[in-house]
Amino acid sequence: MLEKECDCSGYEFIEGVPSNVNRMLRDGKVDISSSSSIEYLRNRDKYAFIEGHSISSIGPVGSIILFSRKPIEALDVHTILTSSQSATSVALLDILLTKYLKIKGNLKSAKLTHCSVPSDVEAYLLIGDDALKAVKYYRTRTVKEPFFIYDLGELWHKYTGLPFTFALWIYKKDCGKEKMDLIEKFKDDLNKAKKLALNNLKEIASKAPLRDVLTEEELIAYWKNVSYAFGEKHKKGFELFRKLAEELGLI
C-alpha cells in the first residue's frame, strides 16, 4: 500500500531478510527500515524510531515458530538450530528457555528452510514465510510426525502477559536535514498506508505471494493476528525484553 497509494517520490524500496536489512541500515545503505528490535536495542544511541508503529504480537504471532521432536521442557543441552535471518527471534528463544523454562538449549545458527532441516536435529526455529509454510505442512499431513510446534509470541505472552515487539521502523538520528525532511514525509505516508492496508486485507491477500500456500482467509487471519501499534503495553513488553536481553549479554 505504501508504494501503490502514496506519493513515493524521493523513495527507493529495497527488500531483504531482517538480518540483511539491519546490516544495510547500520552501514548507511538504507535510511529507514522496519528493522529488528534487537538492532535498535544494540544501537539505541544511534537510532530513533517512528512512534505508533511496530510489528508485534499479543499472543500467537504465527510466523516465529519452534519445531521440536521433544516437549520444549526436555530440550536442555540439546542442539536447537536457529534461523540466521532474525537475531530478535533467536534472542527471544534464548530468553524464554533461560529465564522462564530454566533450561539451556544449545542454540546454533544455520541457514534453514522448512525443506532443509537435518533429520537428526531435535529442534529448530523458523521465521516468516518458512515458518508459515512449515506449520501448514505439518498440520495438513495425512501421516503425522511426532512434532511439537511452539509459537514464540504465544510463549512470551504466556509468561509475561505482555506484547512482544519483533520490529520497529527505525532510522539514524544523524541522517542530516535533507533526509530528515524526507523521513517526516515518510511518517505521514506510513500512517496512511497502514490504515489503507488494514482496510483492504482481502485485496492484498488475493495478490500475495503466499496465496499458493495459504488460503486468502488464512492470510487475512495471520495479518489480523499481528499488532502494528506501539502503545504503552507494547513499550512495557519491549522494556522487559531489553532488560532480560541485557542480563543474558545479548545486547
Summarised one tens digit per residue, pLDDT across range 224-246 is 999 999 999 999 999 999 999 99
Residue 122: the pLDDT is 87
> Span 2-58+163-247: which CATH code?
3.40.190.10
Task: Give me the residues of the chain with pLDDT under 50, please.
Answer: 1
**Which CATH number applies to 64-160: 3.40.190.10, 3.90.1410.10, 3.30.40.230, 3.30.1490.20?**
3.40.190.10
Residue 7: the pLDDT is 61
Q: For the whole model, what pTM was predicted?
A: 0.90
Residue 234: the pLDDT is 98
Name the segment(s) of the chain with CATH classification 3.40.190.10: 2-58+163-247, 64-160
The C-alpha atoms of residue 54 and residue 152 are separated, in whole angstroms, by 17
The values of phi and psi at residue 128, to 5°, are 60, -140
Instruction: Say which residues have a Cβ less than 8 Å from residue 218's Cβ, sequence separation at least 6.
Output: 136
The values of phi and psi at residue 93, to 5°, are -60, -45
Q: Which residue has the cell 528490535?
A: 37
Residue 166 · residue 57 · CB < 8 Å: yes
Residue 1: the pLDDT is 47
CA atoms within 13 A on the CB side of 209: 5
* Nearest C-alpha neighbor of 73 from the set 54, 97, 51, 53: 97
The 10 Å CB-count burial string (b at 16+, else e) for 89-119 is: bbbbbbbbbeeebeeebebeebebebeebee
Element (H, E) at 93: helix 87-95
Residue 114: the pLDDT is 64
The C-alpha atoms of residue 38 and residue 213 are separated, in whole angstroms, by 30
